[in-house]
Protein backbone atom coordinates (compact mmCIF):
# COMPACT_ATOMS: atom_id res chain seq x y z
CA UNK A 1 0.00 0.00 0.00
CA UNK A 2 1.31 3.43 -0.96
CA UNK A 3 1.88 5.95 1.82
CA UNK A 4 0.98 9.50 0.84
CA UNK A 5 3.10 11.14 3.51
CA UNK A 6 6.42 10.85 1.69
CA UNK A 7 5.32 12.56 -1.52
CA UNK A 8 5.78 16.28 -1.99
CA UNK A 9 3.15 18.50 -3.52
CA UNK A 10 4.46 20.12 -6.70
CA UNK A 11 1.16 21.95 -7.20
CA UNK A 12 1.16 21.16 -10.91
CA UNK A 13 -2.34 21.20 -12.35
CA UNK A 14 -3.49 18.40 -14.63
CA UNK A 15 -6.23 17.95 -17.19
CA UNK A 16 -8.41 15.39 -15.45
CA UNK A 17 -10.99 12.99 -16.86
CA UNK A 18 -13.62 11.05 -14.92
CA UNK A 19 -15.47 8.10 -16.43
CA UNK A 20 -18.46 6.38 -14.83
CA UNK A 21 -21.05 3.92 -15.99
CA UNK A 22 -24.56 5.37 -16.48
CA UNK A 23 -25.80 6.00 -12.95
CA UNK A 24 -28.88 6.18 -10.77
CA UNK A 25 -29.80 9.33 -8.85
CA UNK A 26 -28.29 7.89 -5.66
CA UNK A 27 -24.80 8.06 -7.23
CA UNK A 28 -24.92 11.78 -8.09
CA UNK A 29 -23.73 13.10 -4.67
CA UNK A 30 -20.68 10.79 -4.77
CA UNK A 31 -19.69 12.01 -8.25
CA UNK A 32 -20.36 15.60 -7.20
CA UNK A 33 -18.01 15.18 -4.21
CA UNK A 34 -15.25 13.81 -6.43
CA UNK A 35 -15.64 16.72 -8.84
CA UNK A 36 -15.43 19.24 -6.00
CA UNK A 37 -12.19 17.59 -4.81
CA UNK A 38 -10.61 17.52 -8.26
CA UNK A 39 -11.64 20.99 -9.46
CA UNK A 40 -8.87 22.88 -7.61
CA UNK A 41 -6.29 20.35 -8.87
CA UNK A 42 -7.19 20.53 -12.56
CA UNK A 43 -6.92 22.97 -15.43
CA UNK A 44 -9.81 21.25 -17.20
CA UNK A 45 -12.21 18.58 -16.04
CA UNK A 46 -13.84 16.12 -18.46
CA UNK A 47 -16.74 13.91 -17.35
CA UNK A 48 -17.96 10.87 -19.28
CA UNK A 49 -21.19 9.63 -17.71
CA UNK A 50 -24.82 8.86 -18.35
CA UNK A 51 -28.39 8.82 -17.15
CA UNK A 52 -28.97 10.62 -13.83
CA UNK A 53 -25.44 12.02 -13.48
CA UNK A 54 -25.40 13.36 -17.05
CA UNK A 55 -28.72 15.11 -16.48
CA UNK A 56 -27.40 16.62 -13.25
CA UNK A 57 -24.07 17.93 -14.60
CA UNK A 58 -24.93 18.71 -18.24
CA UNK A 59 -25.39 22.43 -17.62
CA UNK A 60 -22.22 22.88 -15.54
CA UNK A 61 -20.10 25.30 -17.56
CA UNK A 62 -16.93 24.26 -15.70
CA UNK A 63 -17.06 20.68 -17.00
CA UNK A 64 -16.63 19.18 -20.47
CA UNK A 65 -19.26 16.47 -20.43
CA UNK A 66 -19.99 13.50 -22.72
CA UNK A 67 -23.24 11.53 -22.59
CA UNK A 68 -23.19 7.71 -22.56
CA UNK A 69 -26.77 7.31 -21.36
CA UNK A 70 -28.80 4.25 -22.16
CA UNK A 71 -32.01 2.69 -20.93
CA UNK A 72 -31.44 0.20 -18.10
CA UNK A 73 -32.85 -3.08 -19.39
CA UNK A 74 -33.86 -6.26 -17.61
CA UNK A 75 -33.39 -8.37 -20.72
CA UNK A 76 -29.94 -10.07 -20.52
CA UNK A 77 -29.27 -9.74 -24.27
CA UNK A 78 -30.07 -6.02 -24.22
CA UNK A 79 -27.90 -5.60 -21.11
CA UNK A 80 -24.93 -7.13 -22.92
CA UNK A 81 -25.50 -4.99 -26.03
CA UNK A 82 -25.80 -1.82 -23.91
CA UNK A 83 -22.59 -2.75 -22.13
CA UNK A 84 -20.59 -3.22 -25.33
CA UNK A 85 -21.94 -0.13 -27.12
CA UNK A 86 -21.33 2.00 -24.02
CA UNK A 87 -17.78 0.64 -23.68
CA UNK A 88 -16.99 1.28 -27.35
CA UNK A 89 -18.39 4.81 -27.23
CA UNK A 90 -16.50 5.58 -24.02
CA UNK A 91 -13.31 4.27 -25.64
CA UNK A 92 -13.88 6.47 -28.67
CA UNK A 93 -14.22 9.50 -26.36
CA UNK A 94 -10.95 8.63 -24.61
CA UNK A 95 -9.23 8.28 -27.99
CA UNK A 96 -10.74 11.54 -29.22
CA UNK A 97 -9.72 13.40 -26.03
CA UNK A 98 -6.25 11.84 -25.73
CA UNK A 99 -4.58 15.23 -26.20
CA UNK A 100 -6.85 17.09 -23.79
CA UNK A 101 -6.87 14.69 -20.78
CA UNK A 102 -3.71 13.82 -18.82
CA UNK A 103 -5.13 11.30 -16.33
CA UNK A 104 -8.34 9.25 -16.13
CA UNK A 105 -10.32 8.34 -13.02
CA UNK A 106 -12.61 5.30 -13.35
CA UNK A 107 -15.40 5.61 -10.80
CA UNK A 108 -18.92 4.26 -10.16
CA UNK A 109 -18.87 1.13 -12.29
CA UNK A 110 -15.24 1.69 -13.27
CA UNK A 111 -14.34 -1.89 -12.36
CA UNK A 112 -16.34 -3.03 -15.44
CA UNK A 113 -14.81 -0.57 -17.93
CA UNK A 114 -12.51 -3.04 -19.68
CA UNK A 115 -12.15 -1.42 -23.12
CA UNK A 116 -11.67 2.16 -21.84
CA UNK A 117 -9.13 1.01 -19.22
CA UNK A 118 -7.28 -1.10 -21.81
CA UNK A 119 -7.18 1.89 -24.16
CA UNK A 120 -5.65 4.16 -21.50
CA UNK A 121 -3.01 1.46 -21.00
CA UNK A 122 -2.26 1.35 -24.74
CA UNK A 123 -2.16 5.16 -24.92
CA UNK A 124 0.17 5.19 -21.88
CA UNK A 125 -2.22 7.48 -20.03
CA UNK A 126 -2.12 7.37 -16.21
CA UNK A 127 -5.29 5.80 -14.83
CA UNK A 128 -6.81 5.35 -11.39
CA UNK A 129 -9.59 2.94 -10.43
CA UNK A 130 -11.64 4.06 -7.45
CA UNK A 131 -13.10 1.08 -5.61
CA UNK A 132 -15.87 1.81 -3.14
CA UNK A 133 -16.55 -1.75 -1.97
CA UNK A 134 -16.58 -5.38 -3.02
CA UNK A 135 -18.30 -5.42 -6.41
CA UNK A 136 -18.20 -9.21 -6.50
CA UNK A 137 -20.19 -9.25 -3.23
CA UNK A 138 -22.66 -6.66 -4.53
CA UNK A 139 -23.28 -8.74 -7.66
CA UNK A 140 -23.72 -11.87 -5.54
CA UNK A 141 -26.16 -10.32 -3.06
CA UNK A 142 -28.18 -8.73 -5.87
CA UNK A 143 -28.36 -12.14 -7.62
CA UNK A 144 -26.91 -10.61 -10.78
CA UNK A 145 -26.70 -13.34 -13.47
CA UNK A 146 -23.51 -11.66 -14.68
CA UNK A 147 -21.73 -11.87 -11.32
CA UNK A 148 -19.01 -14.17 -12.67
CA UNK A 149 -18.14 -11.97 -15.70
CA UNK A 150 -18.20 -8.91 -13.42
CA UNK A 151 -15.69 -10.52 -11.08
CA UNK A 152 -13.48 -11.50 -14.04
CA UNK A 153 -13.55 -7.94 -15.42
CA UNK A 154 -12.74 -6.62 -11.95
CA UNK A 155 -9.65 -8.86 -11.70
CA UNK A 156 -8.41 -7.90 -15.18
CA UNK A 157 -9.01 -4.17 -14.74
CA UNK A 158 -7.17 -4.12 -11.41
CA UNK A 159 -4.17 -5.52 -13.30
CA UNK A 160 -4.40 -2.92 -16.08
CA UNK A 161 -4.84 0.35 -14.16
CA UNK A 162 -1.91 2.43 -12.94
CA UNK A 163 -3.27 2.84 -9.42
CA UNK A 164 -6.18 1.82 -7.19
CA UNK A 165 -7.80 4.17 -4.67
CA UNK A 166 -9.50 2.72 -1.59
CA UNK A 167 -11.21 4.53 1.27
CA UNK A 168 -9.64 2.33 3.96
CA UNK A 169 -6.81 -0.24 4.33
CA UNK A 170 -9.50 -2.63 5.59
CA UNK A 171 -10.91 -2.80 2.07
CA UNK A 172 -7.75 -4.46 0.74
CA UNK A 173 -8.88 -7.84 2.06
CA UNK A 174 -12.63 -7.32 1.52
CA UNK A 175 -12.07 -6.26 -2.10
CA UNK A 176 -9.54 -9.08 -2.65
CA UNK A 177 -6.69 -6.75 -3.57
CA UNK A 178 -3.79 -8.21 -1.56
CA UNK A 179 -1.70 -8.79 -4.69
CA UNK A 180 -1.95 -5.12 -5.69
CA UNK A 181 -0.70 -3.52 -2.48
CA UNK A 182 2.18 -1.87 -4.36
CA UNK A 183 -0.23 0.34 -6.33
CA UNK A 184 -2.95 0.96 -3.75
CA UNK A 185 -3.57 4.42 -2.34
CA UNK A 186 -5.86 5.19 0.59
CA UNK A 187 -7.70 8.49 0.31
CA UNK A 188 -11.15 9.91 0.95
CA UNK A 189 -13.51 11.49 -1.54
CA UNK A 190 -15.73 12.15 1.45
CA UNK A 191 -16.21 15.47 3.14
CA UNK A 192 -19.03 17.20 4.95
CA UNK A 193 -20.54 20.46 3.72
CA UNK A 194 -20.99 21.94 7.17
CA UNK A 195 -23.16 24.78 5.89
CA UNK A 196 -25.65 22.30 4.46
CA UNK A 197 -25.36 19.43 6.97
CA UNK A 198 -25.70 20.74 10.49
CA UNK A 199 -27.98 20.61 13.51
CA UNK A 200 -31.27 22.42 12.85
CA UNK A 201 -33.39 20.63 15.47
CA UNK A 202 -32.02 20.08 18.97
CA UNK A 203 -31.63 16.36 19.68
CA UNK A 204 -33.76 16.52 22.83
CA UNK A 205 -36.68 17.93 20.83
CA UNK A 206 -36.74 15.15 18.22
CA UNK A 207 -39.30 12.37 18.23
CA UNK A 208 -38.21 8.73 18.54
CA UNK A 209 -37.68 8.15 14.82
CA UNK A 210 -35.24 5.72 13.20
CA UNK A 211 -34.21 6.18 9.57
CA UNK A 212 -32.60 4.54 6.57
CA UNK A 213 -31.48 6.45 3.47
CA UNK A 214 -29.95 4.66 0.51
CA UNK A 215 -30.61 2.22 -2.30
CA UNK A 216 -33.38 -0.28 -1.72
CA UNK A 217 -31.22 -3.21 -2.77
CA UNK A 218 -30.31 -6.53 -1.21
CA UNK A 219 -26.65 -5.78 -0.43
CA UNK A 220 -27.76 -2.82 1.70
CA UNK A 221 -29.55 -5.12 4.15
CA UNK A 222 -32.61 -2.86 4.10
CA UNK A 223 -35.01 -5.82 3.92
CA UNK A 224 -33.62 -7.15 7.20
CA UNK A 225 -34.28 -3.76 8.76
CA UNK A 226 -37.89 -3.81 7.52
CA UNK A 227 -38.34 -7.40 8.74
CA UNK A 228 -37.14 -6.25 12.20
CA UNK A 229 -39.97 -3.72 12.48
CA UNK A 230 -42.55 -6.06 14.04
CA UNK A 231 -40.23 -7.05 16.87
CA UNK A 232 -39.23 -3.42 17.42
CA UNK A 233 -42.90 -2.42 17.63
CA UNK A 234 -43.73 -5.21 20.10
CA UNK A 235 -41.08 -3.93 22.51
CA UNK A 236 -41.29 -0.18 21.88
CA UNK A 237 -44.52 0.88 20.13
CA UNK A 238 -43.46 4.55 20.20
CA UNK A 239 -40.59 4.07 17.72
CA UNK A 240 -41.24 5.13 14.13
CA UNK A 241 -39.24 4.36 10.98
CA UNK A 242 -38.70 6.41 7.83
CA UNK A 243 -37.15 4.94 4.68
CA UNK A 244 -35.72 7.14 1.94
CA UNK A 245 -34.57 5.76 -1.39
CA UNK A 246 -35.45 3.83 -4.52
CA UNK A 247 -34.47 0.42 -5.82
CA UNK A 248 -35.50 -3.01 -6.96
CA UNK A 249 -36.84 -3.97 -3.50
CA UNK A 250 -39.33 -1.10 -3.37
CA UNK A 251 -42.41 -3.16 -4.26
CA UNK A 252 -41.45 -6.01 -1.92
CA UNK A 253 -41.03 -3.55 0.96
CA UNK A 254 -44.43 -1.96 0.25
CA UNK A 255 -46.09 -5.37 0.18
CA UNK A 256 -44.52 -6.40 3.50
CA UNK A 257 -45.61 -3.17 5.19
CA UNK A 258 -49.18 -3.56 3.93
CA UNK A 259 -49.38 -7.29 4.75
CA UNK A 260 -48.20 -6.74 8.33
CA UNK A 261 -50.17 -3.52 8.96
CA UNK A 262 -47.04 -1.45 9.54
CA UNK A 263 -48.29 1.68 7.75
CA UNK A 264 -48.54 3.63 11.01
CA UNK A 265 -44.97 2.71 11.95
CA UNK A 266 -43.05 2.88 8.64
CA UNK A 267 -43.11 5.82 6.22
CA UNK A 268 -41.70 5.40 2.71
CA UNK A 269 -40.40 8.70 1.36
CA UNK A 270 -39.25 7.46 -2.05
CA UNK A 271 -36.38 9.32 -3.65
CA UNK A 272 -35.03 12.15 -1.45
CA UNK A 273 -33.10 14.92 -3.26
CA UNK A 274 -29.72 15.51 -1.64
CA UNK A 275 -30.53 19.14 -0.81
CA UNK A 276 -33.56 17.96 1.21
CA UNK A 277 -31.64 15.27 3.11
CA UNK A 278 -30.49 17.53 6.03
CA UNK A 279 -34.11 18.32 6.92
CA UNK A 280 -34.99 14.62 7.07
CA UNK A 281 -31.87 13.73 9.06
CA UNK A 282 -32.74 16.39 11.63
CA UNK A 283 -35.89 14.42 12.45
CA UNK A 284 -33.96 11.29 13.46
CA UNK A 285 -32.62 9.94 16.72
CA UNK A 286 -30.87 7.02 14.99
CA UNK A 287 -29.78 6.12 11.45
CA UNK A 288 -29.51 2.40 10.63
CA UNK A 289 -27.22 1.09 7.88
CA UNK A 290 -27.35 -2.75 8.00
CA UNK A 291 -25.28 -3.37 4.84
CA UNK A 292 -23.65 -6.63 3.79
CA UNK A 293 -20.91 -4.69 1.98
CA UNK A 294 -19.89 -1.02 1.88
CA UNK A 295 -17.06 1.25 0.96
CA UNK A 296 -17.22 4.50 2.89
CA UNK A 297 -20.90 5.51 3.16
CA UNK A 298 -21.19 9.29 3.00
CA UNK A 299 -24.62 9.09 4.63
CA UNK A 300 -22.84 8.21 7.90
CA UNK A 301 -20.85 11.46 7.87
CA UNK A 302 -23.87 13.51 6.83
CA UNK A 303 -25.96 11.99 9.62
CA UNK A 304 -23.27 12.61 12.22
CA UNK A 305 -22.93 16.22 11.06
CA UNK A 306 -26.68 16.62 11.64
CA UNK A 307 -26.34 15.22 15.16
CA UNK A 308 -27.70 11.75 14.38
CA UNK A 309 -26.09 8.66 15.98
CA UNK A 310 -25.49 5.86 13.46
CA UNK A 311 -25.88 2.08 13.85
CA UNK A 312 -24.03 0.24 11.05
CA UNK A 313 -22.51 -3.15 10.27
CA UNK A 314 -18.68 -3.17 10.53
CA UNK A 315 -18.02 -3.58 6.79
CA UNK A 316 -15.73 -1.62 4.48
CA UNK A 317 -14.46 1.56 6.08
CA UNK A 318 -17.31 1.85 8.59
CA UNK A 319 -15.04 1.09 11.57
CA UNK A 320 -12.80 3.98 10.50
CA UNK A 321 -15.72 6.34 11.09
CA UNK A 322 -17.61 4.77 13.99
CA UNK A 323 -16.11 4.01 17.39
CA UNK A 324 -18.66 1.70 19.00
CA UNK A 325 -20.35 3.36 21.95
CA UNK A 326 -18.35 6.58 21.49
CA UNK A 327 -19.17 8.16 18.12
CA UNK A 328 -21.79 5.62 17.01
CA UNK A 329 -22.76 1.96 17.20
CA UNK A 330 -21.58 -1.17 15.39
CA UNK A 331 -24.05 -3.92 14.50
CA UNK A 332 -22.49 -7.34 15.08
CA UNK A 333 -24.56 -8.97 12.33
CA UNK A 334 -27.56 -7.85 10.35
CA UNK A 335 -30.24 -10.48 10.95
CA UNK A 336 -33.69 -8.97 11.65
CA UNK A 337 -33.56 -10.32 15.22
CA UNK A 338 -30.15 -8.76 15.92
CA UNK A 339 -31.17 -5.44 14.36
CA UNK A 340 -34.30 -5.30 16.52
CA UNK A 341 -32.52 -6.28 19.74
CA UNK A 342 -29.70 -3.78 19.16
CA UNK A 343 -32.06 -0.89 18.41
CA UNK A 344 -34.16 -1.61 21.50
CA UNK A 345 -31.04 -1.83 23.70
CA UNK A 346 -29.70 1.45 22.29
CA UNK A 347 -32.91 3.32 23.13
CA UNK A 348 -33.12 1.71 26.57
CA UNK A 349 -29.51 2.01 27.67
CA UNK A 350 -27.36 4.34 25.56
CA UNK A 351 -26.75 8.02 26.15
CA UNK A 352 -27.83 8.95 22.63
CA UNK A 353 -27.37 12.67 23.10
CA UNK A 354 -23.72 12.21 24.13
CA UNK A 355 -23.08 9.87 21.18
CA UNK A 356 -24.67 12.40 18.83
CA UNK A 357 -22.39 15.17 20.14
CA UNK A 358 -19.25 13.04 19.82
CA UNK A 359 -20.18 11.95 16.31
CA UNK A 360 -20.75 15.50 15.11
CA UNK A 361 -17.40 16.65 16.48
CA UNK A 362 -15.67 13.75 14.73
CA UNK A 363 -17.36 14.42 11.38
CA UNK A 364 -16.71 18.16 11.46
CA UNK A 365 -13.03 17.87 12.45
CA UNK A 366 -11.73 14.95 10.37
CA UNK A 367 -13.55 15.15 7.05
CA UNK A 368 -12.83 18.39 5.19
CA UNK A 369 -12.64 19.26 1.49
CA UNK A 370 -9.06 20.50 1.90
CA UNK A 371 -7.86 17.19 3.38
CA UNK A 372 -9.44 15.22 0.55
CA UNK A 373 -7.98 17.52 -2.13
CA UNK A 374 -4.49 17.30 -0.61
CA UNK A 375 -4.62 13.48 -0.70
CA UNK A 376 -5.77 13.38 -4.32
CA UNK A 377 -3.14 15.95 -5.29
CA UNK A 378 -0.42 13.61 -4.02
CA UNK A 379 -1.94 10.59 -5.77
CA UNK A 380 -2.20 12.32 -9.17
CA UNK A 381 1.36 13.63 -8.85
CA UNK A 382 2.66 10.15 -7.98
CA UNK A 383 0.84 8.22 -10.72
CA UNK A 384 1.58 10.87 -13.37
CA UNK A 385 5.25 11.09 -12.45
Q: Answer yes or no: is 30 within a domain.
A: yes
Q: Answer yes or no: is 3 within a domain.
A: no
With beta carbons less than 8 A apart as the criterion, state whether 131 and 168 touch.
no
**Alpha helices for the chain (secondary structure H):** 28-38, 52-57, 76-96, 114-122, 135-141, 147-160, 171-174, 222-227, 229-235, 250-259, 277-281, 298-305, 318-321, 336-349, 352-366, 369-384
Q: Answer yes or no: is 1 within a domain.
A: no
Q: Answer yes or no: is 198 within a domain.
A: no
Residue 233 shares a structural domain with residue 177:
no
Q: Answer yes or no: is 317 within a domain.
A: yes
Q: Answer yes or no: is 4 within a domain.
A: no
Residue 155 shares a structural domain with residue 26:
yes
**pLDDT exceeds cutoff 80 at 141:** no
C-alpha to C-alpha distance for 56 and 44, rounded to whole angstroms: 19
Q: What is the pTM of this model?
A: 0.77
Residue 238 shares a structural domain with residue 123:
no
Q: Which of 375, 281, 283, 362 is nearest to 327 (CA)?
A: 362
168-184 pLDDT, tens per residue?
888 888 788 999 999 99
Domain that holds residue 292: 203-366
**What is the CATH number for 135?**
3.40.50.2000
**What's the number of domains the chain is made of?**
2
Q: Answer yes or no: is 195 within a domain.
A: no
183-223 pLDDT, tens per residue?
999 988 788 888 899 999 999 999 999 999 999 999 999 99
Residue 213 shares a structural domain with residue 260:
yes
Residue 161 shares a structural domain with residue 234:
no
Residue 158 shares a structural domain with residue 71:
yes
Residue 123 shares a structural domain with residue 213:
no
63-118 pLDDT, tens per residue?
999 999 998 777 888 888 999 999 999 999 999 999 999 999 999 999 999 999 99
Residue 240 shares a structural domain with residue 114:
no
Residue 168 shares a structural domain with residue 209:
no
Residue 242 shares a structural domain with residue 108:
no
Going by pLDDT thresholds of 50, 70 and 90, the confidence category of residue 137 is: low
Q: Answer yes or no: is 234 within a domain.
A: yes
pLDDT at 10: 44
For the chain, the 3-state helix, strand and coil shares in percent, each to the nearest 5, are 45, 15, 35
Residue 361 shares a structural domain with residue 372:
no
Residue 234 shares a structural domain with residue 360:
yes
Amino acid sequence: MKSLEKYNLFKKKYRVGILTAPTEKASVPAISNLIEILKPLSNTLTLVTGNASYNFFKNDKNIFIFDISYRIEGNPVKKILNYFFSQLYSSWIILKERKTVDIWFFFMGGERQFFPILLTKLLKKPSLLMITGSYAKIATYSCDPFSLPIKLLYIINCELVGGIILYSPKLIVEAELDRHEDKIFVAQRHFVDQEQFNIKVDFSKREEIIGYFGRLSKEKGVLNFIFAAEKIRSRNPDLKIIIGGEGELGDQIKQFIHKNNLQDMISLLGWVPHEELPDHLNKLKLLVLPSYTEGFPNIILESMACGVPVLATPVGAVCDILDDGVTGFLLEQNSPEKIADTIINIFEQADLERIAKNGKENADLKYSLKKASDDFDKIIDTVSG
